[in-house]
Amino acid sequence: MRKRFLSEIVILLTLTILTSSCERKLVGFGDDAEIRILADSTVWLATEPVLRDIFEKPLITPQDETIFTILQGEIDNFKRFKNLILIGTLDSDDLISSVVKSNLSSAVLEKVEQGAYVFVKEEQWATNQMIMFLISTNIDSLVQKMNANSDYLFSIFDEYWNKTNKEQMYSFKRQTDVENHLLEDYGWKIDVQYDYEIFIEQAEKQFIMLRRSLPERWLFVHWIDTIDPSVIDQDWCIAKRNELGQRFYEGDSVETKFVQPIFEEVNFHDRFALKMNGIWKNDKKQAGGPFINYCFYDEDQRRIYMIDYAIFSPRLEIQKRNLLRQADIMLQTFKTADDLNKK
């Protein structure tokens, strides 16, 4: 009787393990910046140039890099990839079009007939996975819609990468003591990962620098108390960063001779801001690397803020785009005391 009872337990445990293993999702495979495309050869030929224009936007780094990399995927084991786009058309019976249609309900396919063309699913087959289905009545219609909505298509993968990357970055403990110190003493804070240190703290010069090693990264916050935000423009941002580079970075400056920085007007937590992406250089040390810089005016505190993240990773085989992504995510965690009170 005891043997029978034990054998039943073993069988039950075995069935439980088999069931749970069957239901367990794959771990998403591939770099966060790689997007695999599944499409019939004819569809791939028509959509490849559009896909590269949408996703392979250039980055300002010492070597040629793009924000995403488009790779032609294969049907074998395609469900394991992190970032996946499946492309098909209603008027085709090719294998990939059939896969796309089989994964969309009849109600969704009716919407395609009415003009819809893009559908997304998160973690359908694997963890940290973003899947995009692109489908239209025919290939010409699909290409036209992709071209007309390029920014939207890019934002889907861009925002998902930000979300999953931020979760990973702050999955280990944050330095809340450092964050509270910055908030209480200076009226602002930034989410600080466990391995950063305050490297420079000069309250009288309104300058704080955080540092992280392997590879070397520096984040600084500088503020100016003023009631006149009109000084903020592209030339002023470059000049101010150069000034701070001379004072705190042993002579770093913004590269403008061979690579011009790129400026964008962006919304930074409901404030107008100038965002600068560029290359910093140090002629004495013959060093350089990419940086991201935001400059904006805070009306509540009557302050101009400049926040900046710079990277030094001279090994050419290491791509900078993942580091730049983490840099921007960390800069975006900046909050003033008033921001937190409003929230």
pLDDT tens string, the chain, 343 residues long: the values are: 444 433 333 333 333 333 333 457 788 888 999 999 999 999 999 999 999 999 999 999 988 899 999 999 988 889 999 999 999 999 999 999 999 999 999 999 999 999 999 999 999 999 999 999 999 999 999 999 999 999 999 999 999 999 999 999 999 889 999 999 999 999 999 999 999 999 999 999 999 999 999 899 999 999 999 999 999 999 999 999 999 999 999 999 999 999 999 999 999 999 999 999 999 999 999 999 999 999 999 999 999 999 999 999 988 667 899 999 999 999 999 999 999 998 7
Residue ranges, comma separated, of all CATH 3.30.379 domains in the chain are 26-169
CA angle centred on 11, ends 9 and 17, rounded to 5°: 100
Which part of the chain has CATH 3.40.1000.10? 176-342
Q: How many CA atoms lie within 13 A of 282 on its CB side?
A: 18
Q: Are 207 and 200 in contact (CB under 8 A)?
A: yes
Amino acid letter, residue 90: L
Neighbours of 31 (CB within 10 A): 14
Q: Are 296 and 149 in contact (CB under 8 A)?
A: no
- Do 88 and 138 touch, CB atoms closer than 8 A? no
Q: Give me the CATH topology for the region 176-342.
A: Protein Transport Mog1p; Chain A (3.40.1000)
The CATH number assigned to the domain with range 26-169 reads: 3.30.379
